[in-house]
Structure 1
Amino acid sequence: MVYIDAVHYEQDEYGNEYIARMKWTNYLTTQATDECTKRQMIDFISKNPNCTKTKYYRYGRWAAGEDVRVVDNRYLRTDANNIKADNLGSLPRY
C-alpha cells in the first residue's frame, strides 16, 4: 500500500492553485519522506489501482484515510464523484 500524507501546491499563470508534488510512503506508521510529482502518482495509480490511500497524523498516531483514485488521467481524488478537479481531502501542505 502507498500512503500520501502531504501535498505541495503551486500556482498556474492565472493564479489558480494546483497540486504539483506530494510526499508518500509504503508505511502507515511513519511520516512520508519520498516525494513525487502529481503526474508520477497518476501513472502509478493507473497501473496499480486500489493501492493508494491518504493518511493523517491525529491524536499522536497515524490513521489511514480514503482511497485515492484518478479521474480523466489528470486529477487525483479521494471521493467517489467524477468532478474534474483535484481533491485529496484535507492533507497538510508543505
Structure 2
Amino acid sequence: MKGGPWFMVYIDAVHYEKNIYGFEVISHLKWTNTLSQPATNICTKSELIDFINKNPNSTKTKYYNSWKGWVVGEDVRVVDNSYLRTDSNNIKADNLGSLPRF
C-alpha cells in the first residue's frame, strides 16, 4: 500500500467473515489511492491496521454518489490495535459505516 503525507488510501468495500464466536468481523477491504475510481486492490484487515499505525491520518472511506461521483467519507482509525472504526468512540468492534460488501 502506498501511504504517507502525499498518498491517501481510500476504502470503498469490505468483506466480512464469521469469527469463532459466530460474530461477523471484517476480514478484507478494497482500497485505492485514487478518489475518482472504484477500488481494485485488496488487503487483509491486519495489513490495513499495520498500515494505519505506520501512516496515521492517511486512510479514509469513500462512497459513490450518483450525482456527484466518488465522494470522500470519514477518517479510518485503529482501536486497541484490532478494530477499524470511522467514529470517534473506542468501542472494541469494527465500524466502517455502511460501506458495501464484496
The question of 1:39 aligning with 2:58 is answered: no
RMSD value over aligned CA atoms?
Answer: 0.7
Gaps of 5+ in 2: 1-7
Aligned length: 94
For 1:31, give the aligned amino acid: P
User: TM-score, normalized by length of structure 2?
Assistant: 0.90
What CA deviation, in whole Å up to 9, does each residue of 1:17-68 have, x standing for no partner?
0000000000000000000000000000000000100000111510000000
Match of 1:83, SS state, is coil
User: TM-score, normalized by length of structure 1?
Assistant: 0.97
Q: Could you tell me the percent identity over the aligned residues?
A: 70
**Aligned pairs for 1:39-78 within 5 A:** 39-60=46-67, 61-78=69-86
Which aligned segments of 4 or more residues in structure 1 are displaced greater than 2 angstroms? none
Gaps of 5+ in 1: none
